[in-house]
Amino acid sequence: MPQADAAEPLVDTVVEDARWDGLGLGRLADRAVAATLAGLRLPVQGLSVCVMGCDDARIAALNADFRGRPAPTNVLSWPAHDRPRAGPGQPPEPPEAGTDDDPEPLGDIALAFDTCAAEAAAQGKALPDHVTHLIVHGTLHLLGYDHGDDADAALMEAAETRILAGLGVADPY
């Protein structure tokens, strides 16, 4: 795994589709994950995330395997741990950071280039901004946030909007 900066969590970026290299997925992932953790007042060191950039065919296979939906989607996430909550609309229990040598894994995120690019174009958004939003969204899922009901969705969307504003990305909602 790569070494983390003093101000960044450990983000392992795996690129399966070379178009992600042209977009700078590693840089976007480092920035988005660090901003998400900082925005939630969580430590940015001692935690790790894996972000994979793939194409629609690969994410459709993953979506079929893990969610029973054999179709492409923009982002998937696999939390390493379930994080309990006190109730609807309440933030999940935060992770305990490991050390720089043995960081606590938060989980994995996968992004599909084709779907992300098509969505960004259809919504009139810059692709890096859209991908940054999806990485923030995926990282929140790794931390136990969800949008299964109105109260949880409001909490998650407010966190996304606040974190993205700090990155200079317009409100996606």
pLDDT of 7 strictly over 90:
no
Phi, psi values for residue 129, rounded to 5°: -65, -40
- The gap from C-alpha 76 to its chain's centroid, in whole angstroms, comes to 9
Domain 10-166 classification at class level: alpha beta
Using an 8 Å Cβ cutoff, are 74 and 137 in contact?
no
The predicted model gives 12-18 an average pLDDT of 98
Q: pTM, whole model, 2 decimals?
A: 0.94
The larger pLDDT score, comparing residue 86 to residue 153, is at 153
Q: What is the dihedral of CA 48, 28, 72, 62, to 10 degrees?
A: -20
Residue 9's pLDDT is 76
DSSP per-residue string spanning 15-45: ESSTHHHHHTHHHHHHHHHHHHHHHTT--SS
How many whole angstroms from its chain centre is CA 64? 20
Per residue in 60-101, pLDDT (tens digit) is 999 999 999 999 999 999 999 999 988 999 999 999 999 989
Per-residue model confidence as pLDDT tens digits over 101-118:
999 999 999 999 999 999
Work out the average pLDDT over 141-153.
96
Of the chain, the percentage scoring pLDDT greater than 70 comes to: 95
pLDDT of residue 31: 97
Of 49, 56, 50, the residue nearest 19 (C-alpha): 56
Length of the chain in terms of residues written: 173
Residue 150 has pLDDT above 60, yes or no: yes
Banded pLDDT at 1 (limits 50, 70, 90): very low
Q: Which of 51, 26, 43, 15 is nearest to 104 (CA)?
A: 43
